[in-house]
Every structure is written in C-alpha cells, then in structure tokens.
C-alpha cells in the first residue's frame, strides 16, 4: 500500500500543454510511495479518460465560483474520504480552493503551481493570492522567469517559491530516420521534399498565428519549397485560415487541426516556431528540441532558460504593441532565412537541440516532483 495519498487539483483536462504534462507525470510517480488522484473543478475534459486508463482516478467537483461554498464542502469531503495527505493545485482557479481547505483546518499539505507570467486578472486577485500563497506549504513556478514574477507580484519570501521545470518524454519525442519522415509527411499531407516550418500551438491570440502569416511571406517568396504547417485548434483558427487563404501563398499554408500525435507532427518538420507574446516555460519548445528541431521563439518567460540564440535556435526580442508585445520581425525573417537556406546548419543546431532536451527530461521532472512531495510530507 502506498505511503502517501496525493490529489492533483485543476480546472479541467483539455488537450493543452499543462494538462498533457500532468497526464504524463502522474502515472510515472512511484506507486509504492504515492497513491495519486486528480480532481477537476469544472468538468472532466478529453484527457480524463487517458489518465483513468493508466490507473489514476479522476474526480469532478464542480465550482460555480472560486469560493463556491457547496464546491468547497464537496472538495473537503473528497479529501477526507480519500484520506489525502497533499494537494498539488495548478493555476489560480485551483490554487484558491486548495488553500481554502488548509485555512479551514484540514490537515493537508498544499502546493500552488504557477504556469505563466502575469496571470492575475485584477488587483483583487493579486491581493488575495498574496495572502493565500503565504499560507501554502510551497509554491512552484515552471521557470525562473515565472518564479521572479510570482515573487515580485505577490511579495513573497524567496523560500516560498521554487522552480520545477517542465520535462519532455525522450522516448515519445525523438528524431526519426529520413524514410520515416517521408512517411509521416505523406500521412500529414505535407510535400516530401519541402522545408517544413511547424507551429504546434493552440489558436489563441497570444500565440500570434496571424502575425506569422502576415510576416513570413517574404521568406516564402525566396524559398519556393518552404511550407508552413499549423497543428492545433482554437478560437483564432477560422480567422487565421481566412487570412492564409487570402494570401499569395495560400496553398503553402497547411492546417493540420487538433492532433494527438504531436511527436509525429514535430518529427515531420525541419524548423519549429513559437513567436508567442507570453509563455511560462513552453512544452512545445521542449518537444521540438527533443525531435532535433532548431526553434525560433520569442524572448519571453522561461524561453531563454532553454534556448541559446545561434546554438539550438533563435530568440526574438519583443516590442511593445497593443494588446500585447510582438516579436521583432527582422530577427524572425533573418533566423528563418538562415535555417531555410542551410540544411547543414539545421542539422548542427538540431544536435544541440537534442543535447538541451536531455537536460529537461520527463524522468528528471518526475524525480524532482517526488523529492518535493517527500520533503513536504515529512515536515
């Protein structure tokens, strides 16, 4: 029988980067040490079935608001019934009720996990979270950049916030042989001899898909073999599809839709791009590096903790814009021109990418998580 019972608390389980990472980590925790459950406070989401298939129970306790009294009572009952020793909550919406249970007197350790910069929507949220974060046993940040943002915004003591970098599954995400790459491209509807630029990201404003379509076309003019592929869905998809269809290179923009085989999607590419306005510590970047791809990404959040310009990719400086900062267009085009025109350079940077990915393995993340749990539970 496991020594400790752990509850992961999250809003729901869509096919997002944060949620996919949770689904990857939980089954790998030592089951002789930890009996792990997950609870959603809105609805299950499409990844819930995958988690249950791996032996992790998924509960749903609906919250209409963050301080829903009925929801708090139901969550407290779940914690008592399952004899939970530690709650590991993710993001403000789940961090809040988890900490409320501790304040209500439940004998449970609480971790609050921060995944992005500037996630508080109002001064009231910042004020409340400053109080709650001080009451938790530990707060985690996915990068040093996020940690500094949390420390500064919430005015916490240094020891109250630690970094737990995301990790990548090096068995799932890896380079493939040329013949396999051709096969993957055929399955995805990509030209076998093209230079494929891949952007694997949800279609939301902060990812800047529309900016890519608007700015990448000069390089497409110069490199007729260049194809730009987008993997993902989201509220901005229809607008970006319309924009691409109206461009002079309409046939060279490929929309792959929602994919569950992101490892294959990335392995079919030559270059990965992520020109976001905001990131915490990008799973997409780690996964691209593990597939041996050089990455062109914005200098935001924790991206500079994993990318080194000119070695395993390129970091783009940011410029003020409304409603959010945008990457430097000239730097983007220069990096893309260099990589699109030099296969040897792509290979060289791809090797450096693989070396970086090994430092951020999923196994390393699981081990760090286990050590933290044991530390907090032994207090």
The pLDDT mean for the chain works out to 96
Number of Cβ atoms within 10 Å of the Cβ of 350:
20
Could you tell me which residues come within 8 angstroms of residue 184 by beta carbon, excluding any fewer than 6 positions away?
176, 264, 267, 268
Nearest to 233 by CA among 260, 202, 198: 202
Q: For residue 22, give the H/E element and its range.
A: helix 17-25
**DSSP secondary-structure letter at 183?**
H
Q: With bands split at pLDDT 50, 70 and 90, how would you rate the model's confidence at 264?
A: very high
Cβ–Cβ under 8 Å, residues 236 and 213: no
DSSP states of 259-322 as a string? -S-HHHHHHT-SEEEE--S--SS-HHHHHHHHTT--EEEES-TTGGGT--BTTTEEEEPEE--S
Q: With bands split at pLDDT 50, 70 and 90, how would you rate the model's confidence at 17?
A: confident
Q: Is the pLDDT of residue 2 over 90?
A: no
Q: Is the pLDDT of residue 65 over 90?
A: no
Q: Is the pLDDT of residue 300 over 80?
A: yes
For 153-200, the pLDDT digits (tens) are: 999 999 999 999 999 999 999 999 999 999 999 999 999 999 999 999
For 212-224, the pLDDT digits (tens) are: 999 999 999 999 9
Q: Give the pLDDT score at 66.
A: 76
What CATH number does domain 4-167+362-377 carry, 3.40.50.2000, 3.90.550.10, 3.40.605.10, 3.40.430.10?
A: 3.40.50.2000
SS3 168: strand
Q: Quote the pTM value.
A: 0.94
| 251: region left, alpha or beta (phi > 0 left; psi from -120 to 50 alpha) | alpha
SS3 196: strand
For 108-135, the pLDDT digits (tens) are: 999 999 999 988 999 999 999 999 999 9
- The pLDDT of 76-99, averaged and rounded, is 97
At residue 326, φ and ψ (nearest 5 deg) are -125, 155
Q: With bands split at pLDDT 50, 70 and 90, how would you rate the model's confidence at 1?
A: low
- The pLDDT of 39-64, averaged and rounded, is 96
**Domain span(s) for CATH 3.40.50.2000 in the chain:** 4-167+362-377, 178-359
Q: Which CATH architecture has domain 178-359?
A: 3-Layer(aba) Sandwich (3.40)
Q: Give the pLDDT score at 67.
A: 82
């Amino acid at each position: 029988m496991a020594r400790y019972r752990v509850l992961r608390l999250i809003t729901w389980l869509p096919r997002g980067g944060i949620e996919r990472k949770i689904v990857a980590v939980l089954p790998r925790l030592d089951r002789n040490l930890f009996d792990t459950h997950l609870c959603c406070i809105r609805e299950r989401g499409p990844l819930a079935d995958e988690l249950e298939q791996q032996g992790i129970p998924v509960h749903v306790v609906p919250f209409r608001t963050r301080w829903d009294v009925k929801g708090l009572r139901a969550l407290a009952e779940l914690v008592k019934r399952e004899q939970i020793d530690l709650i590991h909550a993710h993001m403000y919406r789940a961090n809040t009720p988890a900490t409320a249970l501790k304040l209500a007197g439940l004998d449970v350790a609480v971790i609050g996990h921060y995944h992005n910069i500037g996630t508080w929507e109002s001064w009231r949220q910042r004020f409340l979270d400053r109080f709650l974060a001080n009451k938790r046993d530990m707060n985690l940040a996915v990068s040093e950049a996020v940690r500094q943002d949390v420390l500064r915004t919430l005015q916490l003591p240094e020891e109250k916030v630690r970094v737990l970098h995301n990790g990548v599954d090096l068995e799932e995400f890896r380079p493939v042989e040329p013949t396999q790459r051709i096969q993957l491209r055929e399955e995805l509807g990509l030209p076998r001899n093209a230079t494929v630029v891949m952007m694997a990201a949800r279609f939301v404003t902060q990812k800047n898909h529309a900016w890519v379509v608007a700015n990448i076309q000069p390089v497409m003019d110069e490199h007729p073999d260049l194809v730009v592929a987008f993997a993902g869905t989201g509220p901005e998809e229809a607008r970006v599809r319309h924009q691409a269809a109206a461009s002079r290179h309409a046939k060279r923009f490929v929309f792959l839709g929602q994919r569950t085989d992101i490892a294959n999607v990335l392995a079919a590419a030559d270059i990965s791009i992520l020109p976001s306005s905001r990131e915490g510590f990008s799973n997409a970047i780690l996964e691209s590096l593990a597939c041996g791809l050089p990455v062109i990404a914005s200098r935001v959040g924790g991206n500079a903790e994993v990318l080194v310009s000119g070695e395993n990719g390129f970091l783009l400086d940011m410029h003020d814009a409304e409603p959010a900062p945008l990457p430097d267009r000239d730097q983007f085009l220069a990096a893309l021109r260099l990589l699109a025109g030099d296969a040897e350079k792509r290979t060289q940077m791809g090797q450096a990418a693989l070396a970086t990915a090994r430092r951020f393995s999923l196994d390393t993340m699981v081990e760090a998580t286990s050590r933290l749990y044991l530390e907090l539970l032994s207090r």
